[in-house]
Each structure stands twice: as C-alpha cells, then as structure tokens.
Amino acid sequence: MDHPNAPEVVKQARRMIDVADARHPGLVEICRTNPMRVADMWRDDVLIEFVDDGVNGSGRLGPDGVPATCHMETGDGRPVLRVFRYRAKSRTYFSLLHELGHYLQRTDPGLAVALLGQDAEAGIDFEERACDAFASRVLLPDALVSDVIERCGGVNAYAACTLAENSMASRSCVAKRLVDIMPNPGMIAVYGAWKGMFCVTTGGFPPYEPETPLARYYDRIHDYMDQRYLLWHARRAERFDLTPGDLPVDLRDGAPARMSMCFQRVGGRYQCFMVFEDGLRGTAG
C-alpha cells in the first residue's frame, strides 16, 4: 500500500464518517460552515485541547515540543484530543478532524479490525492515512466533489476554486483531494499559498529537482506568474478565471499538456490554482 489514498484507506475513511454519524449525526453538515462546533458536539466523548502551533509553524510539534495527539487515557475518563490552533483556520479544522479520526478508529470495533489487518509498521501508517482521508472527506464530501467536477467540466482550476469557495477546506486540502481523481498524470499548484507555493502531482509529492515530474511543469508556472497583466486583473476581481477552457501548453520535455488557471481573492490577497493534465491538447478551440 504505497499510495496515500489506496482504496482500503478511502473505504476506512467512509466507514469512519458512518460511525461518527451513528454517534452524533450531522458531522459533515456542521463542517460545511463551522467545523469548530465539532468540539461541542463531541464534548461528552472527548476532551479537546487546543494548543497554539509551534514556533516554526511546521505543525509537527507544539511550543512545548509535544506533537498533536489523541491520548486514550486521562484523569476524567475522556480521551484527550490535542489539536494545534494554526493561523490558517482551515488547517486547524483539518487537525481537529484528523485527531477525531484517531479516536473513532480506536473506539469502534469494526474500524479497529481494519487496523489489525495491517502489519505493525503499515498499521500505524494506515491509521494516519485514514485520519487524513477522513478529515478530507468530512470537509469535502464525495457528493460535493463529484457535483462540482461535473459542473466545472472536469478536474480543473475552476473546480478547485469552486470547492475552496464552497467548503471550509484549505486550498492545499482541495489540491490533494482533486489530484487523486485526475484521469491522467498531472499536477495541481496553489500559488500564493502558505510558504509561497504548494504543489502536488498525481504521483504524490516529488522533491523539486531538475528531472522530477514536478520540474516538467515548473517553467510553465513561472511563465504565467511572471505576466504582470494577469496580476493586474487578479487584484481587481474577487475571482478571475483566466482560461475559459483549458489552454494547450508544452511542458519542458516537449510533451503536450493542458492547463487551467483561476485566481481568487482570499483575505485581501489573491491565490491562484493551476491545474496541469498530461497528454491532451487544449479544448478551448
């Protein structure tokens, strides 16, 4: 099981949503508008402790050097979910749901059995991946994702922007989710995101080196992002769909691809989704 969203991981994540709904109905619904209400909804089951994110903002360790966790035993009998409070609220929501995912997998016999089916190392990895897949599917329900993709004519920048506008998920969460369902090899970039640019390819997160899959798209991203007139438009609109259809582009290795691009104003700044899909000429005509 190498892929983070192998079918068995996705299956576990969907079962986790069912288990959560059986205990407290409406998780997906409240997370469309205010995921922080999860803390109230589950207050009899778990003690949720919010901790400010560590100095380096990496999200791996809190200021006291302790990672975000789900501790199963505490004094008052409730497990403690230790959740980082990030500057970007969408990251806090994801962290909260990820930790709730651990709690569900450790307290529901059916979910726990799926963990036991993995060998020791893979079991931990499986549990973590299922928590991520669960958080992603609560914030971006399958039905919403398929509806938006259909309305936007496929996995493209407009679908990505529309999902970001209609959910509490972060743009990187949207990118990771969509890249998994791209029908061809490709890449999704979020420009202007946390730490500059976030990129994910259909093969996962390759490091940036001259001959990696990521590098094939990189030059094209900079070609477009260096165009000042694009930014001029982007700064004047709440949302700016650059290409009415997909644009044909040649990648660094000469291979054909198509690209879509969509700017969106987020808190006074703009962010941009770029979606590349290999092997197809543009359909814009």
In the complex, which residues of this chain contact Zn ion (CB under 5 A)? 128, 131
**CB proximity list for 41: less than 8 A, separation 6 or greater:** 24, 26, 27, 30
Least distance (Å) from Zn ion to the CB of residue 155?
Answer: 27
Using CA atoms, how far apart are residues 50 and 73, in angstroms rounded to an integer?
17
Minimum CB separation from Zn ion for residue 81, in Å? 10
CB of 227 to Zn ion, least distance (A): 40
Q: How far is the CB of 112 from Zn ion (least distance, A)?
A: 15
- Closest distance of CB 225 from Zn ion, Å: 34
Q: Which sign, positive or negative, has the C-alpha torsion 75, 78, 79, 84?
A: negative
In whole angstroms, the minimum distance from the beta carbon of 67 to Zn ion comes to 8
**Does residue 234 contact residue 263 with C-beta atoms inside 8 Å?**
yes
Give φ, ψ of 201 to 5 degrees. -105, 170
Phi, psi of 188 (to 5 degrees): -125, 130
In the complex, least distance from residue 126 CB atom to Zn ion, rounded to whole angstroms? 11
Q: Are strands 47-52 and 80-85 parallel, antiparallel or unpaired?
A: parallel
Q: Residue 212 carries which DSSP code?
A: S
Q: Which is nearer to Zn ion, 116 or 143 (CB)?
A: 116
Nearer to Zn ion, 68 or 140 (CB): 68
Rounded to the nearest 10°, the torsion over CA 33, 37, 41, 46 is 130
- Tokens 């995101």 correspond to 193
CB of 46 or CB of 131, closer to Zn ion: 131
List strand residue ranges (DSSP E) for 141-280, in order. 186-193, 196-201, 239-241, 247-250, 256-266, 269-278
Closest by Cα among 134, 67, 54 to 102: 134
Residue 131: CB minimum distance to Zn ion, A: 5
All residues at 6 or more sequence positions from 142 whose CB lies less than 8 Å from its CB, including other chains: 14
- Whichever of 1 and 237 has its CB closer to Zn ion, that residue is 1
Nearer to Zn ion, 131 or 152 (CB): 131
Contact between 131 and 105 (Cβ < 8 Å): yes
Q: Specify the residue, 81 or 145, whose C-beta has the smaller distance to Zn ion.
A: 81
71 vs 233 by CB, closer to Zn ion: 71
Query: For Zn ion, which is the closer residue by CB, 138 or 275?
Result: 138
